[in-house]
Structure 1
Amino acid sequence: MLRVLIVDDQDLFRAGFAMILGAQPDIEVVGEAGDGADAVAAAVELAPDVVLMDVQMPGMDGVEATAQICATTSAKVLILTMFDLDEYVYGALRAGASGFILKDIRRDELAHAVRVVAAGESLLAPAVTRRLVEDLVRRPGHGVAPRLAARLEALTERESETLRLVAAGRSNAEIAARLVVSEHTVKTHVSRILTKLDLRDRVQAVVFAYESGLVVPGSDA
């Protein structure tokens, strides 16, 4: 049974999401919170598998709450937003969120999103992830972080190549074909990359690839 915490400052949204997810045979809504501070406290107390997190809230917003939850619990955070290029989304992904969904998502897609994130996968389509991150790193004042670049030394040549392909939005099947290996081998490479770089999922790996300078905006692997 997947345990879900719903965080939104609007009662109507919380009630709607709770009703939809609570009707699923494999999902249990273990709690609700109306702001970031309550969300952090609830995540620590209730140990959910997934936190459905609104980002625009009074007081502590969803970005800070995501950072604290990801730093102190094993919960996966799935961001709720009204717009696919919401400013808050960038910060939330960098803080450790595993992806985001729009608030007008269909009910069947909402349950699927929770299951995907709970399984340790990132929810964003590769092309969307890449578009988000490229837009972020193109902004004035954003440059390569030397401390991140240094961490790339922990990767083997094949792992670095795999990371470039992940950042380029390639699926495991496409990476396997490109490297002439099995999909199982690709999954192993990705798992090692995440472990070595202390990243939570593929979304974080894409962000890291750009911020470390391994991949530059506009490049194609």
Structure 2
Amino acid sequence: MIRTIICDDHSLFREGLSSLLKNYNDIGVIAEANNGFELKTTLEKIECDVLLTDFSMPGGGVELIKELHERYPNMAIIVLSMHSEDHFAIRVFKAGAVGFMSKNCLSENLADAIRKASQGQCFMNPKSTQLFESAQSQKNKKGEGHEGLSDREFEVMVGIADGRSLTEIGESLCLSVKTVSTYRSRVLSKLNLHSNAEIVHYVLSQGLSSKFAHDSGDISKKDV
């Protein structure tokens, strides 16, 4: 039995995903968590083989993946997100995740990903593989546009574009409002932008925001 934990701040998505995975005899959902903070408490009590976690949630993001990968190196992490795989996959793989999948993926594909992850294998589509290999070959070169942002700057930028206040972003990332404001200033400077409105326009033009994606709670028996 592959011991699996689901972490997502949408209860309907967690419940739907847990129900779907019951169809597979070799996969067992042993716990659920509502956010990154609750997840860390849960992992102190329960051993897990594969973690399925959202990216944009309180206490989530790249830093959470980095921390969990360091503390639990034998636990495979698969990120499920409504964000664009092309832009987010590279960052989560570098942080220590072994898979990045859309929340609209077929349940059969997710089950296969869980099995591969439990065996120490990475799971990414061909396009993500190409992007990751390209990024690795150019890791010593300074990135352009949002590729040149640090993980924290990137997360603050997307948070602003998703309509969250600096206070809300700070609470999600465990940062002070002053620190979030500093990251915002760096984003503006690096991207040559001048306001939150321009940040929103940039993020939407690059396909980085999940703001207008389908509701993640709308789950059918076929799709996750």
- TM superposition score category, shorter chain reference: 0.5 to 0.7
More helix by share: 1
- What is the CA-CA distance between 1:126 and the residue it aligns to? 4.5
Q: C-alpha separation between the residues in 1 aligned to 2:62 and 2:133?
A: 16
Query: 1:91: Cα distance to partner?
Result: 2.9
Residue aligning to 1:57: 57
Q: 2-side partners of 1:90 and 1:41: how far apart?
A: 27
TM-score normalized with structure 1 length: 0.58
- CA displacement at 1:127 relative to structure 2: 4.1
The structure whose RCO (Cα within 8 Å, separation 6+) is larger is: 2
Question: Is the 8 Å Cα contact of residues 90 and 131 (structure 2) preserved in structure 1?
Answer: no
Alignment deviations for residues 113-147 of structure 1 (CA, whole Å, 9 cap, x no partner): 1111111100013442221453585623989xxxx
Q: Deviations over 1:94-123 (max 9, x none)?
A: 110001111001111111111111111000
How far apart are 1:28 and its partner, in Å? 0.8
CA separation in 2, counterparts of 1:132 and 1:84?
14
Structure 1 residue ranges without an equivalent (≥5): 144-221
How many residues get paired? 142
Q: Are residues 1:4 and 2:4 paired?
A: yes
1:102 matched to 2:110: no
Deviates more, 1:116-125 or 1:62-71: 62-71
Q: Percent identity?
A: 30
Q: Distance in 2 between matches of 1:8 and 1:133?
A: 29
Query: Would you say the 8 A contact 2:85–2:102 is kept in 1?
Result: no
1:39 has 2:39 as partner: yes
Unaligned runs of at least 5 residues, structure 2: 149-224
TM-score, structure 2 as length reference: 0.57
RMSD: 2.4
User: Kindly tell me: are residues 100 and 39 of structure 1, through their superposed partners in 2, closer, same or farther at Cα, counting changes over 3 Å?
Assistant: same
**Given the superposition, is the C-alpha separation of residues 30 and 82 from structure 1 closer, same or farther in structure 2, using an over 3 Å criterion?**
same
Structure 1 residue runs of 4 or more that deviate by more than 6 Å after TM superposition: none
